[in-house]
Structure formats: C-alpha cells, structure tokens
Amino acid sequence: MVNRTKGYGFIEQEDGEDLFVHKSQVEGEIRDGDTVEYEIGEGPKGPNAVNVKKTE
C-alpha cells in the first residue's frame, strides 16, 4: 500500500491496474491486503487515489 518512508504507494484496483496514492490522502492506518475505498482525482502525472480509507 503506502510506504510511509517514501510517502506514497499504489492501490491495486479491481481491474488489475495500479493507482498512485500519496500518504496525505490516506485516512488512518492501512496495510498491504486491506480493502479500501477511495475516489479518483487528477494529479500532475495522471489519475491518483484521493480520500482513501479502509473498509470494514
């Protein structure tokens, strides 16, 4: 998911594509394998995940 040292990571979407996510867009603690919900925003280098949070 998000590498806290680097400050970013990637979400594997249902279609298999990876989506960039910056740590500032993550609410709470998320670990690899967690299911998350998010919105898709547009960044300087293309689409990215925003408002990311873990689902129950």
CATH number at 8 reads: 2.40.50.140
Model confidence pLDDT, tens digit, residues 1-56? 688 789 999 999 999 999 999 999 999 988 888 999 999 999 999 999 999 999 97
Structural domain of residue 25, as residue ranges?
A: 2-54
* Cβ-proximal residues to 30 (8 Å cutoff; 6+ apart), any chain: 1, 2, 36, 52, 53, 54
* pTM, full prediction: 0.84
pLDDT at residue number 52: 97
pLDDT at residue number 17: 93
pLDDT at residue number 12: 94
3-state helix, strand, coil in the chain (%, to 5): 5, 55, 40
CA dihedral 8, 38, 35, 10 (to 10 degrees): -30
Number of domains in the chain: 1
